[in-house]
Structure 1
C-alpha cells in the first residue's frame, strides 16, 4: 500500500522510491548544516581576527616608521585582543614603540610582559631568536634608565641598571648567540656606559673631597664674629657718639657722602651683628611702649 500513488496521480515504484530518498538526503543536509554552523562561525571569527591583527600591525608599523611612537603604541595595544596566536608580539611591539619615544620605564613594563609570554627554550639549551629579540629591547630600555640615572649623578642606581641590562642579554649577546649583531653591540655599549659611569662617580667623589679639604684649609672665608665686629665697626666699641668716621673704608660710599649725615655703621657689620642690634632696638621700643601703657614714662598712660 505504501508504494501505491495517491488517488488521481500515477507514479511508478521507482519514482516513489527516488522521491523518498531525496527527502531523506534533504533532512540529512539540514541536520549537518545545523551541526556545523558553530564551527563555521568560529572559523569566520578567527579569519576576521587574523585579518584585523594583520591590518592593525601594518598600521602600527607605519606609524612607527614615521616616528609617530605614541600612535604606534596605541595601535599595537589593540593587538592584545586580536593576536591570539602570538600574544607576546603585541606587548613587544608596544614596548618597543614606547622605548623609541623615550619613556624607558613604561617600556620595561610592556617588555617584561612580553618576556613572560614569548616561547622560551628549555633549560640548558640556547635561547631562541624570538626570546633574544625581547631580551635585546628589554636591555636597551634598562640601559636608557641607567643613562638617565647617570646624568642625574645617581651612579649607584645607574650601575644597577647597567648590570640588569647585561644580565638580560646573557646567552644572546655573545658571539654566535641567537641575538645576532644587535645584541652583541648592545652588550658592548652597556659595558662602556657602565665604565664611564664609574669614572664619573670617582671624579665627582674626588672633587668633593678636594672641595672639603679646601674649605678646611682656608680660614679667611669664615671669620669669627669677634674679628668681624672689630674690623668692620670700630665705632661701636670706641665711642657712644652717633657720628662715625668717613672715608674709603665703607663698602657703600655713595650712601655716606650725601646730605652731611654720617653713614650707618650697620651697613658694614656682620649679618649676625646686624640682626642682634635690630632685635635690641625692637626690645627697647617694646619696653618704652610698655612703660607708657602701664602709666610710667611721661604719665600719659593709664594704670589698670
Structure 2
C-alpha cells in the first residue's frame, strides 16, 4: 500500500503552466550550451585584444626609449614585437634595425633591415617603388654607408668603395623623383662624396706603394753586384791605374832610381868636402907607393 499523499489544494498546475515550465528549462539548457561553446571564441578574442594592446604599449615604450637615445633598449623592445604585429610584420624589423643603426652597430642593423625589406609591401614591377619600401631601403643604405665609413677610417678604401656602391644601388630607384624623398637624395649625395674620398685614398696608397718600391730598388742596386769600373779610384774618378800608381809611388819616394834621386837632391857640403879630401889623400898615397915601390896599405880616412 502506497503512503504517497496528494498535493494540497491550490498547488495543482494547468497544462499551460506545465508547458511553460518545460520550455523555460529547455531555454536554460541551450543558454548553458551556448556559453560553453562560445567560451573559446571569447577567450581568443580576449587574447587578440590583449595582444594588440600589448603591442601598442611595447611599441610606445620602444619609441620613448629611442627618443631618449636609449637605442639598445629600444631595439630590444622593438624585437619583442616581431611575434605580436601580424598586421604589419615588417615594422618591428624596421624599427629594430633603425634602433641598432642609431646605436652605432651598422653591421648588426643590416640583418633586421634586410628582413624588413623582404616583408615590406612592394609596388608592381612597372610602377616606381612606394614610400614604405623606400623608407626601408633608405635606412638599409645608411647602414651600408656606415660600414663604408668605418672601412675608410681603417684605411681600407677598397672595402669602403664596395659598401658605397651597394648603398647607392639600394637607393637607385628611390631618388630623382622616387618614393624616397629628401632623405634618400641627401644620403645618395653624401655617399657619392664619400666614394670620391675613398677613390682618392686608394690612389694615394697606390702612389705610396710605387714610391716605396722604387726607393727599395735604388737602395738594393749597389748591393746587388752592380758592375764597377776597375779603373775607378777611391774618389769616384776614372783614370789610368798605371798612371795613378806611378804618381803615388813618385810622390812617396818609395820607387824610382836611387842614383837619380841622389843627383836631383842637394847633398851635405861637409860630406862632399870629406869625400873630396879622402879621394885626394888616396890619390897622394897611391902616387907615394908608386914612387917608393910598395907600402903597408894603411892610411887615414878623414
Fold shared, TM-score > 0.5 on shorter chain: yes
1-side partners of 2:105 and 2:194: how far apart?
19
Q: Which residue of 2 aligns with 1:41?
A: 43
Q: Partners in 1 of 2:191 and 2:58 — Cα distance?
A: 34
Question: 2: distance between equivalents of 1:26 and 1:177?
Answer: 64
Instruction: Provide Cα deviations, 1:137-164, integer angstroms capped at 9, x if missing partner.
Output: 1110011111111111222211111111
1:219 shift after superposition = 7.3
Structure 2 CA distance for partners of 1:139 and 1:45, relative to 1, 3 Å: same
Distance 2:167 2:222 in 1: 47
1:243-282 mapped onto 2 (5 Å cutoff) = none
Distance 1:222 1:137 in 2: 58
After TM superposition, the structure 1 = structure 2 runs for residues 72-87 of structure 1, keeping only pairs within 5 Å, are 72-87=74-89
**Shift in CA distance, 209/45, structure 1 to aligned 2, threshold 3 Å:** same
1:116 aligns with 118
Q: Distance in 2 between matches of 1:132 and 1:68?
A: 26
- The structural deviation recorded for 1:125 is 2.2
Q: Which runs of 5+ in 2 are unaligned?
A: 1-5, 226-302
Deviation at 1:166, TM superposition (A): 1.1
In the alignment, which residue of structure 1 is the partner of 2:156?
Answer: 154
Q: Deviations over 1:281-304 (max 9, x none)?
A: xxxxxxxxxxxxxxxxxxxxxxxx
Counterpart of 1:167 in structure 2 is 169
- 2:24 & 2:180 partners in 1: Cα distance? 64
Offset of residue 221 of structure 1: 11
Q: CA RMSD in A?
A: 2.4
CA distance in 2, matches of 1:153, 1:12: 104
What do the CA deviations read for 1:223-280 (whole angstroms, capped 9, x no partner)? Answer: 99xxxxxxxxxxxxxxxxxxxxxxxxxxxxxxxxxxxxxxxxxxxxxxxxxxxxxxxx
Distance 1:204 1:46, change over 3 A: same
Q: How many residues align?
A: 219
* Match status 1:138 vs 2:140: yes
CA distance in 2, matches of 1:221, 1:95: 60
CA distances 1:139-194 after superposition (whole Å, capped 9, x unpaired): 1001111111111122221111111111111221x232112111121112111211
| TM alignment of 1:150-229, pairs within 5 A | 150-172=152-174, 174-217=175-218
The more displaced of 206-215 and 106-115 is 206-215
Q: Distance in 2 between matches of 1:211 and 1:170?
A: 40
Quote the Cα distance in structure 2 between the aligned partners of 1:159 and 1:32: 68
What displacement does 1:48 show? 0.7
Partner of 1:284: none
CA distance in 2, matches of 1:42, 1:70: 33
Separation in structure 2 between the aligned mates of residue 38 and residue 64 of structure 1, nearest angstrom: 38
Query: Hey, what's the Cα distance between the residues in 2 that align with 1:153 and 1:57?
Result: 40
Larger radius of gyration: 2
Cα separation, 2, equivalents of 1:208 and 1:68:
45
Unaligned 5+ runs, structure 1: 1-5, 225-304
Match of 1:70 in 2: 72
What CA distance in whole angstroms lies between the structure 2 residues aligned with 1:222 and 1:77? 66
- TM-score norm. by structure 1 comes to 0.66
By how many angstroms is 1:100 displaced? 0.6
For 1:50, the equivalent position in structure 2 comes to 52
State the SS of the aligned residue for 2:139: helix
**Shift of the alpha carbon at 1:21?**
2.2
2:91 partner SS: helix
Structure 1 130/218 Cα, relative in aligned 2: closer, same or farther at 3 Å? same
Separation in structure 2 between the aligned mates of residue 221 and residue 16 of structure 1, nearest angstrom: 130
